[in-house]
Amino acid sequence: MLDIQNLTLKYGQSQILNDMCLTTKAGEVTAVMGTNGVGKTSLLKAISGRHPYVDGTITLQGQVINHLSPFDAAKAGIAYVPQGREVFPLMTVVENLETGFACLDKSDHKVPDHIYDLFPVLHDMAARRGGDLSGGQQQQL
């Protein structure tokens, strides 16, 4: 499903990832673990188009997706959700979810049922403002 080969990433002169490889398969859960500062977030940012990398190949479902913009990564189904509760506090749950549809035609702006299947509490709270949700609910959103 996702294959990363020889990924090298730098911040200025500091090399964060050096010739890193990772292969994931559909239907499996993969965890990226490590202490602070070893490049976990940088890896996710590179995959989602939020940070450039020096070298390497990223393949998603057999298609090379090197150096996608965040917009194109989202269209390919890749999202980066940063740690924390970054929601729009005055917008409803539905409005918060719809912000992720900016790259789609207006007719496709309905929240898909499978989102609510994954996060049923969001369905129950659809009309509630994001800022009024509990911390755990905001993380789901």
> Considering the domain 2-75 in this protein, what is its CATH number?
3.40.50.300
CA distance 87 to 91: 8
Cα 138 from Cα 130, distance rounded (Å): 7
Residue numbers of the chain with a pLDDT score lower than 50:
none
Query: What pLDDT shows up at residue 90?
Result: 92
pLDDT of residue 134: 85
- Domain ranges in the chain? 2-75, 93-140
DSSP, collapsed to helix, strand or coil, labels residue 57 as strand
Predicted TM-score of the model (pTM): 0.65
What per-residue confidence (pLDDT) applies to 84?
67
pLDDT at 100: 80
What is residue 98's three-state secondary structure? helix
